[in-house]
Chains A and B, each alone.
Chain A
Amino acid sequence: MNPLTWYDAPVRALLGGVFVLLVIASLIGRGLARRPQDGAGRATIENLNARIRAWWLMCALVAGALAGGLSGAVLLFGAISFLALREFVTLTPTRRADHEPLFWAFFVFLPLQYWLVGTGWYGMFTILIPVYGFLFLPLRSALNADAQGFLARTARTQWALMVCVYCVSHAPALLTLELPGFDGSRVALLLWLLLVVQLSDVLQYVWGKLAGRRPIVPRLSPNKTVEGFAGGIGSASLIGMLLAPVTPFTHGQAFGIALLVCLLGFAGGLVMSAIKRDAGIKDFGAMIEGHGGVLDRIDSLCFSAPVFFHVVRYFWSP
């Protein structure tokens, strides 16, 4: 069977573009590794090459899962949510009385949320965690009769579910939207979002390394600079605009929406930095070589996916 028939034409074009980009990045990384460097420079280049290798793997995983359409996307993002939630809860102080609520979070609310997304039941998946999880989890915790730090503990569990499961699940939910007047591919729309958000992260890193001078929020995230912020978000928004043909947006709309999701992505990275700083850690985990944990990679998606979903649903869906 010809693998090319697994995808619609716009998806093929986007995946082809990503492939070319990765080849170029790998060649640049290899070229940089050959140049003589001092100790710190070599460490940066090694980390860069580790990141590029991890990007190959992540892109392959996404491409493979998207061949399975909605089911593939639900399984992929469900797994990502599971790994992210595991990292989040591991680094959050919990007490014995949180054990049962956490079991419910991992093994009931997470699968249920993704099942609802898979069935396209919008009215239910938007309230499952913010309403029913919000009401049930503190009750289950209260039944364990441990009052110490109760509100803070309950809030942590709820926050973990919201950011790792609820927010992320809006990415595959894009595939369930009815978009009359859009004869393109909804998989391509999801890919457009992932591309813009992740390219924004990458380009902020690149601009920061090349031109970064003034730190933007030194007390939370010493590596983020004004130059990285402006250059990265500006260039990623332009790429989003150029890719407008795979979306239902005009070029102007595509630029505006890309700018919005990039800014939200930055906000996500900033908020997660504050959580990490509070916990006294640099990364949420060590699962992805060179990047840290899964949650370090998707923090920008957590914030941008739900808003992007609502923008598309509000303006392009009946």
Chain B
Amino acid sequence: MRRLARRGAALLLVGLCRGLTGVRALWLGSLPAAGARVYFANHASHLDGLVIWAALPPALRTRTHPVAARDYWDATPLRRWLALQVFGAVLIDRQPATAAGEADAARADVLAPLLAVLERGEALILFPEGTRGDGETVQPFRSGLWQLAQRCPRAELIPVHLENLNRVLPKGSMLPVPLLCAARFGARFLPVDGETRADYLERARQAVLALAR
């Protein structure tokens, strides 16, 4: 019964999301596949995680976990049920952007549940900006992406650009406007020898921006 409710809610939300945004998944440099992956994308609306999730083939959805902020998604029973039961999200404690080198030990603990997912050979959906932007620009990436890449080198990092989501459900509005959206999946993002964390994160940000039309 509970499983049915979860499945039904997931199908309903995916259907609504698709009907509303007619979202098209464009695989421009990679293909949908199972395995340890991190889909990292620009973040402009509450629908972002759902859109990437809905853009994946159904078989991969149960093995793909959005990373969500605990302070928001653990706040009410409905949100908790949606996040944990329906979408299989991983909740993490959002922290202020750390200065380079500082508090890495604390950060590693925060990332432990994410690494566990990757070790199981499953995928994450991550928004490295940490919070929703205005949709006009992509803010600097937080360091979690770098940490994950360091600690789980076999995970494939796939940049994703979400188009128009900031116009569908912008920050500060509860009312959706149904516009056509696209999720563009790029080629696997690989580290370059000898690059600093800041360079790596900026290059990752550029990889997302390069997918914009």
Q: A: which residues have CB within 8 A of B?
A: 82, 86-87, 89-90, 94, 96, 99-100, 102-103, 106-107, 285-287
Give the shortest distance, in Å, between A110 (CB) and chain B (any CB): 10
B9 interfacial by beta-carbon distance below 8 Å: no
Contact between A89 and B177 (Cβ–Cβ < 8 Å)? yes
Give which listed residue, A86, A94, A100, contacts B173 with CB less than 8 A: A100
Known: A96-B134, A99-B173, A106-B178. A86 touches B167 (CB 8 A): no
Contact between B180 and A99 (Cβ–Cβ < 8 Å)? no
Contact between A285 and B180 (Cβ–Cβ < 8 Å)? yes
Give which listed residue, A82, A89, A96, contacts B170 with CB less than 8 A: A96
Contact between B180 and A106 (Cβ–Cβ < 8 Å)? no
Q: How large is the interface on B (under 10, 10 to 19, 20 to 34, 35 or more residues)?
A: 10 to 19
Residues of chain A within 8 A (CB-CB) of B179 are: 86, 89-90
Please give me the 4 A-B residue pairs with the lowest Cβ-Cβ distance, nearest first.
A103-B175, A90-B180, A90-B179, A102-B177
Give bound CA distance, A199 to B24, whole Å.
Answer: 31
Give bound CA distance, A287 to B175, whole Å.
Answer: 25
Give bound CA distance, A285 to B182, whole Å.
Answer: 12
Contact between B175 and A99 (Cβ–Cβ < 8 Å)? yes
Residues of chain B within 8 A (CB-CB) of A99 are: 167, 170, 173, 175, 177
Residues of chain A within 8 A (CB-CB) of B167 are: 94, 99
Contact between A90 and B164 (Cβ–Cβ < 8 Å)? yes
Give bound CA distance, A287 to B173, whole Å.
Answer: 28
Give the shortest distance, in Å, between B72 (CB) and chain A (any CB): 21
CB-CB contacts below 8 Å: B180-196 with A:
180
Sample of 4 further A-B pairs with CB below 8 A, known A90-B164, A100-B173: A90-B179, A99-B173, A106-B177, A106-B178
CB-CB contacts below 8 Å: B153-205 with A:
164, 167, 170, 173, 175-180
Chain B residues touching A, majority SS:
loop
Give bound CA distance, A34 to B176, whole Å.
Answer: 48
B22 interfacial by beta-carbon distance below 8 Å: yes
Residues of chain A within 8 A (CB-CB) of B180 are: 86-87, 90, 285
Cβ-closest chain B residue relative to A83 = B22
Give bound CA distance, A86 to B179, whole Å.
Answer: 5
Contact between A287 and B134 (Cβ–Cβ < 8 Å)? no
Task: Map CB proximity to A onto B97-125 as digits: 1 under 8 Å, 0 otherwise.
Answer: 00000000000000000000000000000
Give the shortest distance, in Å, between B22 (CB) and chain A (any CB): 7
Cβ-closest chain A residue relative to B135 = A96
Give bound CA distance, A86 to B170, whole Å.
Answer: 17
Give the shortest distance, in Å, between B174 (CB) and chain A (any CB): 10
Contact between A287 and B170 (Cβ–Cβ < 8 Å)? no
Known: A86-B180, A90-B180. A100 touches B175 (CB 8 A): yes
Contact between A86 and B175 (Cβ–Cβ < 8 Å)? no
Give the shortest distance, in Å, between B144 (CB) and chain A (any CB): 28
Residues of chain A within 8 A (CB-CB) of B176 are: 103
Give bound CA distance, A73 to B132, whole Å.
Answer: 41
Residues of chain B within 8 A (CB-CB) of A100 are: 173, 175
Contact between B134 and A86 (Cβ–Cβ < 8 Å)? no
Give bound CA distance, A100 to B24, whole Å.
Answer: 25
Give bound CA distance, A136 to B180, whole Å.
Answer: 25
Give the shortest distance, in Å, between B182 (CB) and chain A (any CB): 10
Give the shortest distance, in Å, between A158 (CB) and chain B (any CB): 16
Give bound CA distance, A32 to B134, whole Å.
Answer: 51
Q: List 16 A-B contacts (CB under 8 A).
A: A86-B22, A87-B180, A89-B177, A89-B179, A90-B164, A94-B167, A96-B134, A99-B173, A99-B175, A99-B177, A100-B173, A106-B177, A107-B175, A285-B180, A286-B24, A287-B22
Give bound CA distance, A90 to B22, whole Å.
Answer: 11
Cβ-closest chain B residue relative to A93 = B167
Residues of chain B within 8 A (CB-CB) of A286 are: 24
Give bound CA distance, A107 to B176, whole Å.
Answer: 10
Residues of chain A within 8 A (CB-CB) of B177 are: 89, 99, 102-103, 106
Kindly name the residue among B24, B164, B173, B180 whose own CB sees the greatest number of chain A CB atoms within 10 A.
B180
Give the shortest distance, in Å, between A72 (CB) and chain B (any CB): 20
Residues of chain A within 8 A (CB-CB) of B178 are: 82, 86, 106
Kindly name the residue among A82, A89, A99, A286 whose own CB sees the greatest number of chain B CB atoms within 10 A.
A99
